[in-house]
Structure 1
Amino acid sequence: MSPAYLKLPTYRPGEVDAIPRLPLYLPSPVHIDIKDPITDQPIELYFTEDHPFNRRGFRYVPCEATPLFSKLKYTQIEIPPYGPRVNIEDISMQILVDRETGTIVSTDKGHRMARANVGVREGKWYWECKILKGNLFNGDGNVRAGWTRREASLETPVGFDAYGYGVRDVTGQKFHISRGTDFMPEPFQAGDVIGFYISLPSISYQLDEASSKSKSSLGLSTETGNDVVPNIIRDRIPIKYKGQLYFEQFEYVPAKEFQDMLNQSSSDDVAMRETLLKEKGLLNSSIKVYKNGKFMGTPFEYLLPFLPPHSAPLSSMAARVVDDNSLGYYPSISVYGGGAAQFNFGPNFDFFPEDLKQEASSETLDTNKVRSMSERYEEQIAEDVVWDIVDEIDFTFNLDDSDDDDEDYKSERNG
């Protein structure tokens, strides 16, 4: 639900059903020679401009005014290219992307990252990364790929910090908190398809586990119910940026304890760090990696939990935000010096692993079924509609908001 203290401005009549203003696509001044794997035609890559990029402390999502919600007034929208793709607001400004599908990324700079516009919070999911140019030893740039959270820095490779888990093309190593360790027996390069599977326990279990640990630390009973549900609070206001409406909301930022881990280098530090990460990690969570459909192994287990208090916003006022329903793990690709890769969210995969097909064929929609990220995209949109309805109801029954709270909120957002 939306916080009761948040008052949304009234929209202008012309903003209702306005045609979304698309970002400006600027051709790259540096040519990166990549071709479509199917048609063998050259692929043009672009910088995107005239839209807000997520920055430290704030995050942006396209929205529009709607008369369907008399209190909420605004709703989140999708802009072309429609479907699961790169989130152009959640990429480094130096990332190049194709205009047709929004799934191909590259850069002529140092390590830069792009995240998908769809993330996961529970269940079993799969996506593929097709290497178009990679393996620095061949002079074709560098690619890393895997899963990252919203806190992961976009100006670094996947696996640089505690909020990302990735594998590297040059050595086939796995990376987490900038520590590379041997994983794949050989590197991967242009033409290879790397599959990424993730398994996360149910949100109910995660909340139950967090509640038990909190009570245990206080010496209280750890008995909890089976119907634990998240308290979704979407603290966001509409702003206009170059003619397009966006929701501006508080972003979650790295915690100091995990930032400090980046500076640990001694063997004793690393050993203590590994123990701490395992203690904090989610039971029954893991990431599996495949190369051209062949199982490479399970490089990561006990993934770090993402629900509050493990994810926290920068602002003290934003501490009111518990969970905005976008916390979780996102398919992510980082590129370097001309490296290029393509997201494939399914359902048509190049190499869907044989050992996952039986799980994927289940007719149920429980957390034991492996699903494609394209399914999650549709589910994510449905969830957003549901929370819009919940927010509208919440606003309707909280009409006695004080002006003082509203002014405090505005003062905090304006720094």
Structure 2
Amino acid sequence: MVFSDQDNNTVSNAKGYRMARASHGVMSGNWYWEARIVVDTASQYSPQGHTSKPMPDPHWRLGWALPESLLQAPVGYDKYGFSYRDIEGVKVHKGRRYPYGEPYQAGDVIGFLILLPELPPNLRADPPPPLPKSTPDSTPTPKKDEDLPVHPGSKIIFFKNGVSQNVAFENIPQGSYYPAVSLYFNASVCVNFGPQFCFPPKTSLPFQPMSALPLVRPRPAVARRKPAKATRANKP
């Protein structure tokens, strides 16, 4: 996966499916972000010896994922991801494809709305582990199905160029959900976390852009003290 532009908002991939997750996730509230579908034309051909062999067609699976989702696989490969696929417009979860909406291609803008109602204290599960660094061996240990309590009333809705494709998933597991993209051979996306969107979702429900999440402030720099001069007490 390659991140480009100054804000790291454009993601590209020249190999098989890989996933990239955002740095911030949400556990409650209504949140939205969008992604513009792009083809990385700069790397459409891979030199092999003295010839250039055309690479496979690019593809996309985009959506939301929990921290336990496998980074070396597409979104929706396991039970921790929920995605909208370009081919046939199907939705994907636990590696299974289900009829859903319209297919999409380069030039389209896909929107992602997640609805996570506030839960009463008696229904809240233990907080999830912090998001690990994006390395293959840093994914948290997966939980069993019985360890994934449902978030009642939760929904995921995808949009294509501002048009709702209807509810894709509902009553999803509790946890912290991160925007996630998975790309296949020359696929690229330009993500937009707001506050200005190309196609704001047409819904009566209030929502917030992902950009409204508070950023983690860096720790203040600690002034380095000058080494103390040698005295009788600290001489070697």
Determine if contact 1:110/1:337 at 8 Å carries over to the other structure. yes
Aligned-partner Cα distance in 1 for 2:92–2:26: 20
Query: Counterpart in 2 of 1:374?
Result: 211
The code of the aligned residue for 1:291 comes to K
What letter matches 2:27 in structure 1?
A: R
1:171 to 82, 88, 111: 88
C-alpha distance in 2, partners of 1:380/1:300? 28
In the aligned structure 1, how far is the partner of 2:127 from the partner of 2:79? 25
Kindly provide the amino acid, as one letter, of the partner of residue 252 in structure 1. P
Q: Secondary structure at the match of 2:203?
A: helix
CA 1:381–1:114 in structure 2 vs 1: closer, same or farther (change >3 Å)? same
Q: Secondary structure at the match of 2:83?
A: strand
TM-aligned CA distance change 1:195 to 1:337, over 3 Å: same
Structure number with higher helix proportion: 1
Q: Distance in 2 between matches of 1:116 and 1:288?
A: 18
Give, in whole Å, the separation in 1 of the partners of 2:127 and 2:21. Answer: 25
Match of 2:78 in 1: 161
The equivalent position to 1:253 in structure 2, one of 137, 141, 144, is: 141
Residue deviations 1:101-145 (CA, integer Å, cap 9, x gap): 2011111111001011111111000000110129xxxx6401110
CA contact under 8 A between 1:133 and 1:189: conserved in structure 2? Answer: no
Q: Deviations over 1:323-369 (max 9, x none)?
A: xxxxx00000000011111111011111002225xx4xxxxxxxxx3
Moved segments of 4+, more than 6 Å: 230-234
Q: Secondary structure at the match of 2:88?
A: coil
Task: Please name the residue that 1:271 is paired with.
Answer: none
Give secondary structure in 2 for the equivalent of 1:295: strand
Is the CA contact 2:61–2:85 (under 8 Å) kept in the aligned structure 1? yes
Instruction: Find the aligned partners of 2:17 and 2:129 in 1 and give their Cα distance.
Output: 34
Equivalent-residue separation in structure 1 for 2:169 and 2:6 (angstroms): 34
Query: Is the contact made by 2:27 and 2:174 (CA closer than 8 Å) also made in structure 1?
Result: no
Instruction: Name the counterpart of 1:65.
Output: none
Query: Which residue identity is paired with 2:4?
Result: D
| AA of the residue aligned to 2:123 | E
Q: Which residue is equivalent to 2:49? A: none
Q: Find the aligned partners of 1:159 and 1:177 in 2 and give their Cα distance.
A: 6
Counterparts of 2:98 and 2:60 in 1: how far apart (Å)?
16
TM-superposed CA distance for 1:370, in Å, is: 0.4
CA distance in 1, matches of 2:128, 2:184: 37
* Residue 351 in structure 1 maps to residue 186 in structure 2: no
Q: TM-score, normalised by structure 1?
A: 0.44
**Equivalent residue for 1:106?**
12
| Match among 111, 114, 120 for residue 195 of structure 1 | 111
Cα deviation, residue 281, structure 1: 1.9
TM-score by length of 2: 0.76
Say if 1:281 and 1:303, in contact at 8 Å, map to a contact too: yes
Structure 2: unaligned runs, 5 residues or longer: 41-55, 133-137, 221-236
2:169 corresponds to 1:300: yes
Q: Name the SS for the 1:354 alignment partner.
A: coil
* Structure 1 residue runs without a partner (length 5+): 1-94, 212-229, 237-249, 259-275, 307-327, 360-368, 389-415
Change (3 A) 1:208 1:96: same
- 1:198 CA drift (Å): 0.3
Higher relative contact order (CA 8 A, sep 6+): 2
Q: Distance in 2 between matches of 1:107 and 1:233?
A: 28
- Aligned-pair identity (%): 35
RMSD of equivalent CA atoms: 3.0
CA shift, 1:100, in A, is 1.6
1:154 partner amino acid: L
Within-5 A mapping of 1:284-295 = 284-295=153-164
Which of residues 147, 151, 170 in structure 1 aligns to 2:68? 151
Q: Kindly tell me: are residues 120 and 380 of structure 1, through their superposed partners in 2, closer, same or farther at Cα, counting changes over 3 Å?
A: farther
Q: Is the 8 A contact 1:133 1:142 kept in 2?
A: no
Read off the aligned partner of 2:216 and give its amino acid letter. Answer: I
Q: Relative to structure 1, is the Cα distance of residues 353 and 187 closer, same or farther in structure 2, using a 3 angstrom cutoff?
A: same
CA distance 1:231–1:293, shift in 2 (3 Å): closer
CA distance in 1, matches of 2:74, 2:128: 30
8 A contact 1:161–1:176 mirrored in 2? yes
CA distance 1:199–1:96, change in 2 (3 Å) = same
CA displacement at 1:233 relative to structure 2: 9.2
CA contact (8 A) 2:36 2:189 kept: yes
In structure 1, give the amino acid aligned to 2:6. E
Question: Counterpart of 1:252 in 2: which secondary structure?
Answer: coil
Number of the residue aligned with 1:208: 122
